[in-house]
Structure 1
Amino acid sequence: MTASDVEWKETDVPPPPAFAEGRAIPIEMPTRSALNFSVDPETIVITNDGVVRYVVLSRSQQGGAFNAYYEGVRCSTDEVKTYARFNDGKWVEAKDPEWKPYRQIKSGYVSRLTYQGLCRGHGPQVSVRETVQLLRKPVREVE
């Protein structure tokens, strides 16, 4: 942990934003995933503390279960925090949300989302506009 990490303080987190599944951008996932993940581009915010906040949506590939999560990513530390979950038509705030390494999340959607465009190395993109452009047309590595 560096001195800047000790001094770092997260800005106040606003309530979860409204989202729409119809405008969501798909997150490229491995074919073995049983869920389809997407992010609503109109919910993406890059804050002064370096956190990228957004609403991610997940839906079963069989068309059943639907979930939404209001999250924040710290690109500098490879961590994610879930602030709220959309349940039964309303947001339910997480109790004592904590920063957790996103590479440990079983589904892997946060790692894919950060790679697809939320983060630029260990920092957020320059602007929300640039982030959305990258999410819509992610850069592919040459194999």
Structure 2
Amino acid sequence: MHAKCYSCAVSVVVLTLLSACANNKGPVREWREPETTKWEEADTTPPTALPLDADLIEFDVQRRGQTAFFVDSAHIEIGSDGVTRLPLVSRSSRGAAVVTYEGFRCETSENRLYAIASEGQWSIPRTNPWRTVALNSFDPKSVLMHDFLCKDASPRAPDEIIQKLRYPKPDWQ
């Protein structure tokens, strides 16, 4: 007898809830795919001048060994497309240097080479696709992107980047 009463009570509660949902006269909207805006990359040209030693800020990479890595603090810019563009310098202990102009897209964790300095001038590579930058403490581009240029999926402002490069927090903090 109790099972029948319990079953009736549950039925009454369920019917009450269903009728309350049916009486909701709120607006009914048709489901649509979320609108996404297509990302477009801004036109890019390298700086007119090559980096000066006075503007270079070194950043530490665990695999460092015989190579030092620098950012040209005078030419850090955030484009209208959200890409952080800057010259990078890799210098061996013997003085040989490689200077590149690169872009970093925080939203997708990608990097792109725009130009390489050769004989005092920038030259554009034949192919320069966007490449994924994995999280890797031994890769200079990964360290630069994840530790200095990006805050989550957003680019940091140039002055904040320079501050972080000049005064990095130790690992234990």
- How far has the Cα of 1:33 moved from its partner? 3.1
- How far has the Cα of 1:3 moved from its partner? 6.8
Give the one of 26, 43, 49 matched to 2:81.
Answer: 49
Q: Is 1:77 the equivalent of 2:108? A: yes
Letter in 2 for 1:71: E
5+ residue gaps, structure 1:
none
C-alpha spacing 1:140/1:130, structure 2 compared with 1 (3 Å): same
Q: Is the 8 A contact 1:27 1:116 kept in 2?
A: no
Cα distance in structure 1, aligned partners of 2:127 and 2:140: 22
Cα distance in structure 1, aligned partners of 2:65 and 2:108: 26
Letter in 1 for 2:84: V
Where 2:144 maps in the other structure, the secondary structure is helix
Alignment correspondent of 2:13: none
Q: Which protein has the bigger strand share?
A: 1
Q: Is 1:141 the equivalent of 2:171? A: yes
Aligned residues: 138
Alignment correspondent of 2:59: 27
Superposed CA RMSD: 2.3
Alignment correspondent of 1:94: 125
Cα distance in structure 2, aligned partners of 1:20 and 1:13: 21
5+ residue gaps, structure 2:
1-33
Q: Highest Rg: 1 or 2?
A: 2
C-alpha spacing 1:47/1:87, structure 2 compared with 1 (3 Å): same
Q: Highest relative contact order (Cα 8 Å, sep 6+), 1 or 2? A: 1
